[in-house]
Structure 1
Amino acid sequence: MKAARLQHPSRLYLQTRHGPVVLVSAVSAAHPTPPSSAFLPLAAPTSSRLTLTLNSSPVSPGDRHSRWSSVHHSPHFILSACKQEATRSPAELSSDGARAEMGVRSGLHVWELTWSLKHRGSHAAIGISRQECPLHDSGYKVLVGGDSRSWGWELKTNQLWHGGRRCRSGAANNFRPQSSNSHSTKEAEGPLLIPERVLLVLDADAGTLGYFVDGSFLGVAFRDLPSGVELFPAISSVRGGASIRLRYLNGTTSNPPALMALCGLSICQHLGQQRQDQAEKLPLPPFLQRYLLSCF
């Protein structure tokens, strides 16, 4: 048996003598979107590579990828003892940024950024930057995305920034959900409120950056990121008291996912969380039963 992509680009099939069998559908995300989520209509398909990465156990919270840089941040940002939290001190007419201690040059990587809605203010941006991205400037402005060396998402207006300009296109740009009634479709009065927890999804091999919000992958926000260049999670803020926590969840290499992992993911998705204890009842060797239990 071998894995192959047949006809449908968002599904992975297993070719058997009885015909192709669906292993993973990219439409089904690792973390189901809550039914009440306003982001559900905006959800984009996730690749099997991203789905497996999100389903993998998070790395240790003490991983160095979870730390803000003690050197590369504005003087108005103060880091916690563990360097996982950056807090901006009150400062007039100042835009301030910080970037992670460690960047990546290849692979697919996912970080979690936690930023309270009460302490965002205007110009609150999260994204990816190169090492030389400016992290301090006078006045109030977006720094992450404010030049050609960074790519950012401004959370209040839901606008994407790069090269000092707002981007006119992108999956995460200016979210305004539409009514499901085609006869009375109209845009919401303002952009959606972004919750405090946002996932950065950087595929350094494909040169793309996307965001995961409220259980929904919002698709590719930026393309054509530089290849082979070290890229870092980055933030910028103008709000005194803003506190942003960084957590590296997991990553994978550019190698294709293992067939065993794809099979296990497909079975677990079909069983669902409510029936995970039934993995032991499947007609499989104990080793495979234990493997499936570890997938939940």
Structure 2
Amino acid sequence: MPYELPDSCNDNWSWSKREKSHEVKLLGKRNRTALFHPNWSNGTAGVRGTRNINDGRHYWEVKVSQRIFGTSMMFGIGTKRSRLHIDAFLNMLGEDDQSWGMSHKGLLWHRGDSKNYTKPFIENESTTIGILFDSNQGTLSYFKDGEPLGVAFDVFKKIDSELYPIICSTAAKTEMSLGRRRRSYSSLQDRCRAVIIRNIADEKSLDELFLPNRLVEFIREAME
């Protein structure tokens, strides 16, 4: 069964068009699919998410195409100081103290060090990785095809920098697509906004509510 984040709502974020390697091409509706090294690979390419995840709890899924192979395919989080391109084949997420990641070889990386975490992914077999960041507990956990893998890192209560989802790959012509994205409510106003969004059909319906402009913009920014 897929993980369900309790007391949460849908989140609206995508991969950033500006904060990515030149070897990442964004595809599909609202840039949710990242194609790494469209022609051939001569290094490691990454892309950062548009969502700051420092507050509350956030859960997102990354669907990986069946082209799983190579030196490193990684899933995790990092600050804006973490690199998004290197002309070398290495584990870019976790290369220093600015990022934390899990590789497709089942290893956790941070500060350039690795440790065993789970079984290596089966090559050339598609999979879905779930990532749960809990800022209240200061933890990052992973799921694989709905199965919990446990807490991977528990150091984030000490981190003051803004944190963002990041994925990266050394493998040519590999795709990773955003799936479900959920977040906990940040306030009563946020909870009320989610109720409104669930009960209107589209942005045109929002305009027909005749709400103040500031409130309309607050609701619109959370809509798909």
- TM-score of the superposed pair, with normalisation by structure 1: 0.56
Residue in structure 1 matched with residue 83 of structure 2 by the alignment: 134
Residue in structure 2 matched with residue 199 of structure 1 by the alignment: 130
Amino acid at match of 2:148: F
Indicate how the Cα distance of structure 1 residues 51 and 235 shifts in structure 2: closer, same or farther if over 3 A, else same: closer
The alpha carbon displacement at 1:71 in A equals: 0.9
Residue in structure 2 matched with residue 90 of structure 1 by the alignment: 39
Two-structure CA RMSD over aligned residues (Å): 2.4
The answer to whether structure 1 residue 210 and structure 2 residue 141 are counterparts is yes
Residue in structure 2 matched with residue 167 of structure 1 by the alignment: 115
| Identity, % of aligned positions | 27
Which is bigger in relative contact order (C-alpha 8 A, separation at least 6)?
2
Matches within 5 A, 1:1-296: 31=1, 52=6, 59=10, 63=12, 65=13, 67-80=14-27, 82-88=30-36, 89-155=38-104, 157-167=105-115, 173-175=117-119, 191=120, 193=122, 196-225=127-156, 226-253=158-185
**How many Å separate the matches in 1 of 2:136 and 2:22?**
33
Aligned residues: 182
The structure having more radius of gyration, on CA atoms, is 1
The alpha carbon displacement at 1:151 in A equals: 0.5
The gaps in structure 2 that reach 5 residues or longer are 188-224
Give the strand-richer structure, 1 or 2: 2
**How many Å separate the matches in 2 of 1:51 and 1:254?**
14
Q: Answer whether contact 2:42 2:87 (CA < 8 A) is retained.
A: yes
Query: Does the residue aligned with 2:47 lie in a helix, a strand or coil?
Result: strand
Q: Answer whether contact 2:5 2:59 (CA < 8 A) is retained.
A: no
**How many Å separate the matches in 1 of 2:22 and 2:59?**
27
The alpha carbon displacement at 1:174 in A equals: 3.8
The alpha carbon displacement at 1:119 in A equals: 4.3
The alpha carbon displacement at 1:204 in A equals: 1.5
Indicate how the Cα distance of structure 1 residues 197 and 126 shifts in structure 2: closer, same or farther if over 3 A, else same: same
